[in-house]
Structure 1
């Protein structure tokens, strides 16, 4: 072989073959096929072997690194397209390959039996019951992009069909080539159609899910703010999760009674919590010195403003004051903000009066076991339990 052909020899790659086994694999297979035509081949184990050293590989495949050559040749071996007898290329700097694959050798009969039907007499004849394609025919199909495994799967049906028809042909190989190529194209078309239908089905499902999420809905007892809404309030507005949970029951009560239907509950909830948070901070007593509750203690005007913003009836809140003061005077405890305590107390009883149950409303004891259902009446539990009970918002 004259070196003048290297590296100017053009590479011919079958598009259908590249689509089947991969572009790099098809390119290397074409190069190996050309090299097998002009380099000496050795005989071993009943096969012809092509021995390509690093100098030939670098001249014929200068666009690939050693690792690329090792990877692509291994892919061809794994696909059953070549036999690879050499050690990894990066170590041995050598490719010893045979284009006669193990698959073909295992499935093709001995030479007398698989001789092409057209290589003997030119007269037309019936298809033999044990007819099989020869190596040349399988190589032609591979060049057309038809895998050998698929071709072998068509043989039984091909024989049955033509024996039932009783037709005679000069070349059953040509008929098999045309029929198998057509069936492969039909399979590719059917696969493409199925993929397209599956994609369209998935698109319809996603669209339906999107429309469902975007659909207007009424407020209900199991409503919860979305994860995105909670993230906006906690991470961006720096509002405590406990405060957010406290606002959920009153938000649900108000909008259930309003009977409104919308698709923007999360946006409304964010604005609602932000307004309450601002009022809440303005109502806090900033005296850091804890003190006992005065006998004549009354909530501040700002406290009532926060309750009004939460749509809690002010007469209901005012009725809670005597019991609240009495309990905390009896306990003789000290706190730095009695307004904050009172806000929590009123919000809890307001939600409890409306028999509001959220998704996470089940209480548990210190051992993690559910607490039996309790009556909603105030006298069924101590004021301390009521003030500290946050199970409805947990």
Structure 2
């Protein structure tokens, strides 16, 4: 039977067992490097960057570098000299450490004995698997190892809240939390670099007018680009949370008066930090419950709102009508704190929008009153607006 017409060039023979053991991407790259090493007799194999790109035309340089890092982190490969593509090629060898645990002979540890022949104290047993502690912190050598891989310490610490929350929600018992944190931060760092490269290429492609590249202050009608919105949504952030963060972001930078040409990048960083703190701070009940008549938001809610420059007294003034609405609707939810945060941020955004409108009798408000928040008509309008509850 003739082969498929699409198979007209070089194919990579991949081991299914190897892919299931170390990962598909790692297995593909390790197979290519192994085939190249077989053709060379010296202990350290050499491979030109252009040849490596020809063998892997479906990957860009960022992906090849990331998978190479993954192989070295797992102890399956050793790179001598600069990492790809910092030099014209890579020098590598597999070494004894490249053997997988399944291929190494099993040995039974024997107790050490003193000169008199009596057994000495055995080595301490490895740590038993345990759940993620409430205030877990990574080891210092883990942070230093990330810095050696080019990840700033500040970036690693910024990923801690999301990692701890994920570990606690999974409820797994493990003894390798530092290893999992290392992999988590490395993956986030790769995503960040890819997003930054994409923005840079997009700016270079669309910068036909030199004026567009000039730094400028933020305006009241500024909105994040569709690419920025897509990047945040792909990171698992609620689209409503992204939209609610726009007014406070504009207010903060308007008051500062700074000028930048990368407002979308700053907005992505701002929303990611706010989302990490939000998901780490808001408690979720395992069972949905009806709101209590004496319900009050947790202190963590006020802390999150404070980071968004929303006054505490403004949020507190919305508690009675929030409780009244949900008591009357007789609905149940897992987290009333989360619902309250969404409601306050939406009302604050409407308040910021009303500041730019003239006040007076034409708007149904008394002169000198706080816009939209003092008259009975405004209160009825707010209670009838339930778009935030969806």
TM-score higher than 0.5 here? no
Q: Which has the larger radius of gyration?
A: 1
Structure 2 length-normalised TM: 0.39
Normalized per residue, which structure has more helix?
1
Report which structure shows greater RCO (CA 8 Å, sep ≥6).
1
Give TM-score, length-normalised by structure 1: 0.39
